[in-house]
Chain A
Amino acid sequence: MCVDASGELDHTLGIDVVWIALFLAVLLGWWDGPVTCALTLGKFIIFTYAATPISLKIIDLYVVYAITTAVIQVVYMGIVGSFPFNSFLSGVLSCVGTAVLAVCLRIQVNKENKEFKDLPPERAFADFVLCNLVLHLVIMNFLG
């Protein structure tokens, strides 16, 4: 079931640190074999991901940022209570919404997608901006 990662590996410091730390953990016997597979798999995914173009990585970073903001808001709601529920809803949904729209942009801009090769990336970005405008107009109205 377990296979070795093959091909040229792009060494970066951060990945090495993570890898060494987890390897130490495995060495200390806390987890066993299948977890090593997961780690190798994770490393492979990270390395393959490093090959994506930088514009897509920026979009992915934006998506991660939006989702973390949403999670922070949910945690805050859990602590403080949901009294102005419309504000909570609009806050969370604006983060989720803009993340979804960024994913749609990424789909349309990604050169590997055969279905969208006729779509100029400027048009995709313009659609993204328009949709975000509508989203934030609704959010401002609903925020209270």
Chain B
Amino acid sequence: MAASSETKGEGTLRKAFGGVLGFFILLLIGAFAFSIRLFSVIKYESVIHEFDPYFNYRVTQFLTKNGIYDFWNWFDDRTWYPLGRVIGGTVYPGLTLTAGSIWWLLNNLNIPLSVETVCVFTAPIFSANASWATYLLTKEVKGTGAGLTAAALLAMVPSYISRSVAGSYDNEAVAIFALIFTFYLYIKTLNTGSLFYATLNALSYFYMVCSWGGYTFIINLIPMHVLLCIVTGRYSPRLYIAYAPLVVLGTLLASLVPVVGFNAVMTSEHFASFLVFIIIHVVALVYYIKGILSPKMFKVAVTLVVTIGIAVCCAVLAILIALVASSPTKGWSGRSLSLLDPTYASKYIPIIASVSEHQPPTWPSYFMDINVLAFLVPAGIVACFLPLSDASSFMVLYITTSVYFSGVMVRLMLVLAPAACIMSGIALSEAFDVFTRSIKLQLPKLFESPSGSGDIDSTQDEVVKVDNKSATDKSETAPKERPSKKNRKKEREIVETTIKKPLNAKRLLVLPLEASSVAILLLIIFGAFYVVHCVWAAAEAYSAPSIVLTSHSHDGLHVFDDFREAYAWLRHNTDVDDKVASWWDYGYQTTAMANRTVIVDNNTWNNTHIATVGTAMSSPEKPAWEIFNSLDVKYVLVVFGGLVGYPSDDINKFLWMVRIGGGVFPHIREPDYLRDGQYRIDAHATPTMLNCLMYKLSYYRFVETDGKGFDRVRRTEIGKKHFKLTHFEEVFTTHHWMVRIYKLKSPKNRIRGKSKKSKSNSKTGPSNSKRHSNLRKNPW
């Protein structure tokens, strides 16, 4: 007894040590996740990136200045002129409310951080939280060691870094944390059957609905998993407790968010949850009846119910089908349809198809974004089946659906990243488990018999079930684990490497000593490659703020700050109420930085309005002037990259303007702008192309730069080199000619008594001709 209590004390000491070590590892993982995302702050400055984050930043500014009631009821008249936009009802408030509350809390603690700083650093903080949530989720699925590995992998996976770098103040920054945390609470409820966790699950789901439109993934994946459990015979009361309260509370909470509103009960995206809600009640009732009846009576009951039930089901199904089929899209929104049918967007909604993030990914982008994990995921899937539990079946379902959706849209690689990390964490931790166990078991044989290590015959494919709570082996006479193993970051905790006593029925998988040590070494090198790649991707590929560009040349680093230069010019040199027209990409930045009203912006909710601007850009000067004048536009902004070789300029996007404009206004035809199906701007371009507004505004006076008008992006000389603008005047061009701002010329005054030249010539005689010859030529 004394010996066992001694070893028990030793066991608890080892457990305590393992717990503390695990805590410090988690802390380090969080710090690492935070710091790897700071490259852009170091290389450039603490600035908000890209386009969408500027809108979120502006909304957060409004929230912090005016308070939450004004935010809920905010009608924005500085955008989509003359329509305006109801911000309170069309924005997902989670991100702005989170950042706003962090700012408010810090300010009340007398830490006066500016709103911009809070916005820039929200994403890295929440990525640290996401790693901790991954640890919790994987711990529920497999165990602590797998949890730590998965958390470490998620902290640096490049796909997640790309959307959560410091400065990328977008919905996904908090949404991925909410996603993983919701899944963790669901699995926890499933494992424990506690209603308390079910409540927390619903609240976390509410946070996810507030944050991102991708919440439909959760509300479809969880019913799918419930259905899978029922079909594979894994129904249990815990499943009911995990699912039914979530549906009711979740639907109610989702309806609370203004963006979702009644869509929570009316759109097809939620019908799966209701259907499975009904199914689980039927199954629960069946199990209950089965429990209280004898088998014979139960058979009677089944035959009776089935006959009646089928008739009722058919009636209900017919009603449902009639209801759904009456709507043209069968109740699905365009976004969801484009996910389910990848070719839908290109046929029906060109705006969705034109966004580069919505294109399918290429094979190399998988390797770039999840790197080594692409190889570990299949191993993780196999490990999930040995043994299969509710939680691991959920993980398998999660990875398969996210792989499918990531194949449809590059942007959804982000949803694949946590699943891949968890699977790889499970695989790596199981592998390390086997290898270290093999070494540990064979080490005493190595020391005892100098004639070389005796091979323990590897048994059949039975794998020991990893037990979370088991103590370490007491009868083990092997020396303690080598201290070097404890310090390795990816090493599993000591409490995890359990060796069951030989009395157990399960046999151990033990591999030869040399093979296991070589394998451990190779796995560590594997991990090292992953870390190197992730740090490189974070530093080089995903840290560009895209509002400031740099290039390295022989005489040092050039910084292109043209965008902010143009917006600052607009801010300081135009009236507050002036309207600025540009392509929709720059709308958010213009309202946020230049503080001027824009016609269209990145929200792209009104296709006709965008098509109007697109038509104006594709028309000759006079019709374009008339369109812009009807919209009260004063300034037109154009982005031009031909002087410096910036490839994402408006001339490269011009064909999309033509397509979108032509979709609504049929007189704009795409073939008019192409010569033999090719898009050119040189001397062989079509006259429609050479006369359109976009061409003229981009290349006005361009020939003065180098005498020949050589466009560095298209790599040709331009077609029409010397021309004057009749209806626009140039007011500002930035330093590198990247942004060009034009003003609409006001129409010429009509002077009383003198009529127009074209009409008067026919009516008046030669007596007026002298007067006309003295007048300046009327440009209209």
Contacts and interface: CB of A to CB of B under 8 A. Distances in A.
Interface of A: 1-3, 34, 37-38, 41, 44-45, 48-49, 85-86, 89-90, 93, 96-97, 100-101, 103-105, 107-108, 112-113, 115-116, 119, 124, 127-128, 130-131, 134-135, 138-139, 141-142
Nearest to B202: A134
Given A97-B248, A115-B238, A127 B300 contact: no
- Of the candidates B194, B238, B252, B304, the one having the most CB atoms from chain A within 10 angstroms of its own CB is B252
- Where chain B touches its partner, the secondary structure class is helix
B197 to A, nearest CB: 9
Contacts of A44: 293, 297
Contact of B198 (A38, A89, A119, A131): A131
Contacts of B203: 134
A86 B237 contact: no
Given A3-B297, A100-B244, A131-B195, 18 more contacts: A34-B304, A45-B289, A93-B248, A100-B245, A103-B240, A103-B284, A104-B240, A104-B241, A104-B245, A108-B241, A115-B238, A119-B193, A127-B194, A127-B199, A130-B199, A131-B199, A138-B253, A141-B256
28 contacts: A1-B303, A34-B304, A41-B301, A48-B292, A48-B293, A89-B252, A89-B255, A89-B262, A93-B252, A97-B249, A100-B244, A100-B245, A101-B195, A108-B193, A108-B195, A108-B237, A115-B193, A115-B238, A116-B237, A119-B193, A119-B194, A124-B195, A128-B195, A134-B202, A135-B248, A138-B252, A139-B252, A142-B252
A139 B253 CA distance: 9
B410 interface: no
B245 A45 contact: no
B256 A138 contact: yes
B371 interface: no
B236 interface: yes
A85 B266 CA distance: 12
B245 A131 contact: yes
B244 A41 contact: no
Interface string B638-650: 0000000000000
B779 interface: no
B233 interface: no
Contacts of B202: 134
A13 B203 CA distance: 48
A3 B292 CA distance: 17
Task: Please name the 3 residue pairs, one residue from A and one from B, whose CB atoms are nearest each other, closest first.
Answer: A127-B195, A97-B248, A107-B237
B628 to A, nearest CB: 41
Interface string B294-334: 00110011011000000000000000000000000000000
A41 B304 contact: yes
A15 to B, nearest CB: 16
- The bracket for how many chain B residues form the interface is 35 or more
A115 B252 contact: no
B483 interface: no
B252 A90 contact: yes
Contacts of B297: 3, 41, 44
B265 interface: yes
Given A89-B265, A138-B249, A127 B240 contact: no
Nearest to A93: B252
Nearest to B284: A103
B193 A112 contact: no
Contacts of A100: 244-245, 248
B376 to A, nearest CB: 34
* Centre residue among B193, B236, B253, B284 by max chain A CB count within 10 A: B193
Interface in B192-225: 193-196, 198-199, 202-203
Given A115-B238, A127-B199, A96 B248 contact: yes
A96 B252 CA distance: 11
Contacts of A41: 297, 300-301, 304
A125 B288 CA distance: 21
A142 B240 contact: no
Q: Determine which residue in B198, B202, B249 has the highest number of CB atoms from chain A within 10 A of its CB, and name it.
A: B249
B291 interface: yes
Nearest to B238: A115
B127 interface: no
Contacts of A127: 194-196, 199
Contacts of B429: none
A45 B255 contact: no
Interface string B244-266: 11001101110110000010010
Given A103-B240, A116-B237, A138-B253, A37 B300 contact: yes
Contacts of A115: 193, 236-238
A97 B255 contact: no
A86 B195 CA distance: 26
A104 B195 contact: yes
A130 B196 CA distance: 8
Contacts of B195: 101, 104-105, 108, 124, 127-128, 130-131
A97 B262 CA distance: 18
Interface string B93-129: 0000000000000000000000000000000000000
Nearest to B203: A134
Contacts of A116: 193, 237
A45 B293 contact: yes
Nearest to B266: A85
A142 B255 CA distance: 8
Contacts of B251: 93
Given A3-B297, A115-B236, A127-B195, A142 B241 contact: no
Contacts of A113: 237
A41 B198 CA distance: 36
A131 B250 CA distance: 12
Nearest to B261: A86
Given A44-B297, A89-B265, A131-B199, A104 B292 contact: no
Contacts of A119: 193-194
A86 B255 contact: yes
Contacts of B303: 1
A93 B251 CA distance: 9
A2 B304 CA distance: 11
